[in-house]
């Protein structure tokens, strides 16, 4: 039984259970799944549930179901099943199981090897944040810094990472957390929202989330080389707060209200308790949600034509540049190590999105297998996106212009210091844009104050005594296409200059475009020297105008590939970061580009390994679009980074009404010129 709250209209309604094979897991299903697994164990054995993810039915069955449903039939229900990763409480004994909720069976329940670790869960992380500060050894180390008595210490537990070292207490084979410590402004110690990233401390204890013991206390290098200095009295720099009450805010920004007097143009249908079908401007698709990927888009159709079976962000990788211990291990996979659903923000009306908003609240499991609410995890709204197209007949001066409207399906993740604003954006001309806005706070590290004006090899000084290391952000978008039905291919078009030829190309100006097919699974790259463009096509369905196979073109932004070297663990683990795209042949259990378990992983479990099967695609390709940025921090990125946007666009080859003042009701600004009357300085 799901409980849906829509903040937009303030209603909360208990809903009856609606079956659908793609419906996000309901509260009853989480509870039942936990009970079925618990029944396999003696009563005194406590299970700690990590992941509980909907195990989607086999694609073949699912497609038959969805097609039948679309043609108005009532297809026979498919089994509901759950993928579960769980520990025996307070041990490192990790298991994974498939639980069938339809016939109450557990077809698979296996103990995983010692080197495989589930993500840390929020309960463990919050516990560690407290316990690390209560540890006498940590307190003794902190005392050496001689901070003002009232100083509050804050802990950011970080994923430990891998370096293959298993010597003494420098071991990366057991599940650990590296606890980066910070102070809050000693002159404002009670401000819980104070920006502690302005006061990084050189002490990162290593804690076990299994028994909450302290393994060791590292000391961070704070100079220009690898040598950590003995702990000594530390003079904290000035604060740098982002909360509005600590700022002098501009006062001359006039309200800009988004008003839809006739309501929104989209319709929402419940396809399950927690899943929603969106109908908007010929688009029709389903939105699901899970702990790992957050929002997932299914069964995308435009004008009743099939386009994509499943669209999701499959993982992120954020490796840091600083080669000094322990930073050499600093590399996060935010979906695999944490979970996009788990850290989804509770979105607020009139804040995260403007206008007429529909929210989806979702449910995830806690570590006991009980449901917990993720309120307003996804917001859906329309925005005006400026001009879609325009043409003015210069002879008659008549201009025809159509404005672009977009439907934005958005979720926002907070992964400790950082925020990711993630959106699937649909428009009026068949484009689907995946937009990432990187914002939030840099994960800072301490720097000797006298080096504040020195150039640093591994990062940028963003505040006195505060270094922000260079780091790369990688994203892998998983596209399971169904353009115009089954039997898709991946092709690429390239432009070539034609050789000079007395008859065919007498002035040397000609060029042509050649198409090639992606023959097998593998890693593929952009090539701007050929303007290489990848397309997903359906060779069985032809465009009526030119008889070309219909298709969707992929606008993939260029990126610098992973800089860590071939033998590094960053490279072995972050399997998707060395090509602009990977193409694999569809397999049921291959959803996550770095593999199912990324926490302290060793590699060999992700998309590079799957592509290496060198398989024929046989009309069932999965396209992994990899993109990202290399973040050279700026002083202006601190304390909070103005968003940096990256987009991937999927676009096809228009009946939108002309943009008219009668509908848009724009207002002519008057009396806004300045004294000289020359410019629109709105006061
Ligand atoms: Cu960054």
Task: State the distance from the centre of ligand 1 to the C-alpha of 589, rounded, in angstroms.
Answer: 30
**Span 637-665, mean pLDDT?**
83
Helix (H) or strand (E) holding 38: helix 27-38
105 and 146, same domain (yes or no): no
Distance CA 650, CA 593 (A): 20
Domain total in the chain: 2
Which strand ranges, in their side-by-side order, compose the sheet holding 459-463?
A: 444-446, 466-469, 459-463
Domain boundary among 94, 111, 128: 111
pLDDT of residue 656: 58
In the reported structure, the alpha carbon of residue 633 is separated from the centroid of ligand 1 by a whole-number distance in angstroms of 7
pLDDT (0 to 100) of residue 626: 98
For the cut 60, the answer to whether the pLDDT of residue 126 exceeds it is yes
Measured CA to CA, the distance from residue 579 to residue 560 in angstroms comes to 9
Q: Are residues 167 and 94 in the same domain?
A: no
Report d(CA 94, CA 113) in Å as an integer. 8
544 vs 414: which has the higher pLDDT: 414
Question: What percent of the chain has pLDDT above 70?
Answer: 95
Which has the higher per-residue pLDDT, 17 or 327?
327
Q: How confident is the model at residue 683 (pLDDT cuts 50, 70, 90)?
A: very low
Mean predicted confidence (pLDDT) in 186-194: 96
Asked if 581 and 628 count as a contact pair (C-beta separation under 8 A), the reply is: no
* ipTM of predicted complex: 0.96
Task: Kindly state whether residues 67 and 152 are assigned to the same domain.
Answer: no
Tokens 């089954």 found at: 486
Distance from the CA of 626 to the center of ligand 1, in angstroms? 16
How far, in Å, CA of 448 to CA of 223, rounded? 6
* Residue 620 belongs to some domain of the structure: no
The residue among 524, 590, 593 whose CA lies nearest residue 556 is 524
3-state secondary structure of 637: helix
pLDDT reported for residue 673: 67
Percentage of the chain exceeding pLDDT 90: 91
Decide if pLDDT at 170 tops 60: yes
Position 357 in a domain: no
Residue 7 lies in a domain: yes
Cβ partners under 8 Å of residue 630, min gap 6 = 470, 471, 472, 473, 559, 560, 563
What's the pLDDT at 681?
Answer: 41
pLDDT at 407 over 80: yes
Tell how far the Cα of 306 is from the centroid of ligand 1, in angstroms.
36
Say which range, 267-276, 301-310, 482-491, 659-668, has the weakest mean pLDDT.
659-668
Domain holding 155: CATH number? 3.10.450.40
- Kindly state the helix (H) or strand (E) to which residue 60 belongs, with its residue range: helix 59-70
In a domain, 649, yes or no: no
Q: How far away, in angstroms, is 445 Cα from ligand 1 center?
A: 14
Predicted confidence (pLDDT) at residue 11 exceeds the cutoff of 70: no
- Cα 419 to middle of ligand 1, angstroms: 10
Q: Are residues 149 and 227 in the same domain?
A: yes
334, 352, 431, 480: the catalytic one is 334
CA separation, residue 475 to residues 21, 320, 558, 579, 674 (Å): 28, 15, 12, 12, 46
Closest residue by Cα to residue 476 from 594, 568, 330, 599: 594
Which of 192, 212, 246 is a domain's end point?
A: 246
Give, in order, the Cα–Cα distances in Å from 454 to each of 451, 457, 488, 638: 5, 10, 55, 18
Q: What is the pLDDT of residues 331-378, one digit of tens each?
A: 999 999 999 999 999 999 988 889 999 999 999 999 999 999 999 999
For 81-94, what is each residue's pLDDT tens digit?
999 999 999 999 99
Do 12 and 86 lie in one domain? The reply is yes
Phi, psi for residue 124 in degrees, rounded to 5 = -65, -40
State how far the alpha carbon of 84 is from the alpha carbons of 49, 157, 357, 361, 603, in Å: 7, 24, 33, 22, 21
41 shares its domain with 88: yes
CA nearest 419: which of 640, 651, 656, 677? 640
In a domain, 21, yes or no: yes
In whole angstroms, what is the distance from residue 427 CA to residue 281 CA?
8
The verdict on 107 and 147 lying in the same domain is no
Crossing angle for the helix pair 122-134 and 136-143, to the nearest 10 degrees: 60
Average pLDDT over residues 210-215: 96
* CA dist., res. 393 & res. 255, Å (int): 36
Q: Is 334 designated active site?
A: yes
183-206 mean pLDDT = 97
CA of 433 to the centre of ligand 1 (A): 21
Over the chain, what is the mean pLDDT? 94
Shared domain check, 157 and 78: no
Residue 109 pLDDT > 60, yes or no?
A: yes
> Residue 190 sits in which domain range?
139-246
Q: Between the CA of residue 478 and those of 213, 309, 549, 554, what are the distances in Å? A: 38, 11, 22, 12
Structure tokens at 306: 């099939």
Q: Report the alpha-carbon angle 650-652-657, nearest 5.
A: 110
Cα–Cα distance measured from residue 636 to residue 462, given in angstroms and rounded to the nearest whole number: 8
pLDDT band of residue 458 (cuts 50, 70, 90) is very high
Cβ neighbourhood burial of 556 (10 Å; 0-12, 13-18, 19+): buried
What is the 527 CA–ligand 1 centroid distance (Å)? Answer: 26
Whole-number Cα distances in Å, 513 to 62, 232, 333, 351, 497: 38, 66, 38, 46, 9
Last residue of a domain, one of 230, 246, 262: 246
Residue 11 shares a structural domain with residue 75 = yes
Average pLDDT over residues 215-227: 97
Any domain includes 89: yes
pLDDT of 204 > 50? The answer is yes
- Dig out the tokens for 131 from the structure: 């316990």
**Same structural domain for residues 107 and 153?**
no
C-alpha of residue 472 to centroid of ligand 1, in Å: 7
Residue 15 has pLDDT above 60, yes or no: no
Q: Is pLDDT at 646 greater than 70 in this prediction?
A: yes
Residue with tokens 């002098």: 248
In a domain, 278, yes or no: no
pLDDT over 70 (residue 480): yes
- Marked catalytic residue, from 180, 418, 420, 582: 418
Whether 68 is covered by a domain: the verdict is yes
Q: What would the mean pLDDT of 112-121 be, rounded to a whole number?
A: 94
Does 100 lie in the same domain as 188?
Answer: no
161 with 238, same domain?
A: yes
Nearest CA-CA partner of 311 in 413, 435, 489, 472: 435
């Amino acid at each position: 039984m799901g409980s849906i709250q829509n903040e937009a209209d303030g209603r909360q309604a208990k809903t009856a259970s609606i079956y659908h094979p793609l419906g996000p897991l309901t509260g009853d299903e989480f509870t039942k799944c936990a009970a079925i697994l618990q029944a396999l164990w003696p009563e005194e054995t406590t299970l700690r549930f990590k992941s509980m993810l909907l195990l989607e039915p086999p694609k073949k069955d699912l497609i038959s179901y969805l097609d039948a449903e679309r043609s108005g039939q009532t297809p026979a229900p498919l089994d509901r099943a759950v993928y579960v990763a769980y520990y025996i409480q307070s041990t490192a004994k990790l298991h994974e199981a498939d639980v069938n909720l339809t016939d109450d069976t557990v077809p698979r329940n296996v103990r995983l090897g010692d080197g495989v670790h589930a993500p840390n869960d929020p309960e463990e992380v919050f516990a560690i944040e407290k316990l690390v500060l209560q540890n006498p050894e940590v307190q003794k180390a902190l005392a050496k810094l001689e901070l003002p008595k009232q100083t509050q210490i804050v802990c950011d537990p970080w994923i430990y990472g891998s370096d293959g070292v298993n010597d003494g207490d420098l071991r990366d084979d057991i599940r650990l957390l590296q606890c980066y410590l910070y102070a809050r402004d000693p002159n404002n110690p009670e401000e819980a929202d104070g920006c502690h990233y302005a006061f990084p401390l050189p002490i990162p204890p290593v804690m076990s989330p299994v028994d909450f013991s302290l393994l060791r206390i590292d000391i961070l290098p704070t100079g220009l080389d690898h040598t950590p200095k003995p702990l000594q009295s530390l003079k904290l720099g000035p604060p740098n707060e982002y909360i509005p009450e600590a700022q002098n805010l501009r006062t001359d920004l006039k309200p800009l209200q988004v008003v839809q007097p006739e309501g929104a143009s989209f319709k929402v249908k419940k396809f399950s308790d927690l899943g929603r079908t969106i109908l908007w401007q010929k688009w029709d698709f389903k939105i699901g949600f899970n702990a790992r990927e957050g929002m997932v888009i299914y069964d995308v159709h435009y004008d009743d034509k099939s386009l994509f079976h499943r669209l999701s962000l499959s993982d992120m990788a954020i490796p840091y540049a600083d080669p000094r211990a322990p930073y050499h291990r600093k590399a996060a996979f935010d979906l695999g190590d944490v979970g996009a659903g788990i850290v989804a923000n509770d979105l607020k009306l009139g804040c995260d999105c403007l206008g007429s908003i529909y929210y989806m609240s979702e449910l995830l499991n806690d570590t006991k297998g009980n449901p917990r609410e993720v309120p307003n995890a996804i917001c859906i709204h329309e925005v005006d996106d400026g001009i879609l197209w325009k043409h003015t007949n210069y002879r008659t001066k008549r201009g025809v212009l159509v404005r672009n409207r977009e439907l934005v399906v958005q979720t926002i993740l907070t992964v400790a210091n950082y925020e990711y604003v993630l959106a699937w954006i649909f428009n009026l001309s068949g484009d689907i844009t995946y937009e990432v806005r990187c914002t939030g706070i840099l994960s800072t590290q301490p720097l000797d104050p006298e080096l504040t004006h020195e150039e640093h090899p591994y990062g940028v000084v963003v505040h006195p005594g505060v270094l922000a290391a260079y780091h790369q952000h990688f994203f892998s978008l998983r596209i399971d296409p169904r353009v115009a039905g089954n039997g898709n291919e991946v092709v690429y078009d390239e432009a070539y200059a034609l050789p000079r030829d007395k008859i065919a190309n007498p002035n040397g100006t000609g060029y042509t475009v050649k198409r090639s097919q992606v023959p097998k699974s593998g890693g593929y790259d952009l090539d701007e020297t050929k303007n290489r463009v990848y397309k997903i096509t359906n060779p069985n369905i032809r465009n009526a105008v030119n008889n070309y196979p219909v298709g969707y073109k992929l606008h993939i932004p260029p990126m610098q590939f992973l800089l860590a070297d071939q033998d590094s663990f960053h490279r072995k683990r972050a399997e998707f970061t060395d090509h602009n795209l990977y193409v694999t042949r569809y397999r049921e259990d291959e959803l996550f580009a770095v593999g199912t378990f990324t926490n302290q992983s060793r590699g060999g479990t992700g998309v590079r390994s799957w592509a290496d099967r060198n398989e024929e695609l046989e009309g069932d390709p999965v396209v992994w679009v990899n993109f990202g940025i290399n973040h050279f921090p700026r002083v202006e990125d601190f304390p909070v980074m103005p968003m940096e946007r990256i987009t991937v666009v999927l676009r096809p080859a228009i009946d939108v009404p002309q943009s008219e003042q009668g509908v848009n009701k724009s207002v002519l600004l008057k009396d806004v010129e300045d004294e000289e009357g020359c410019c629109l300085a709105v006061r």
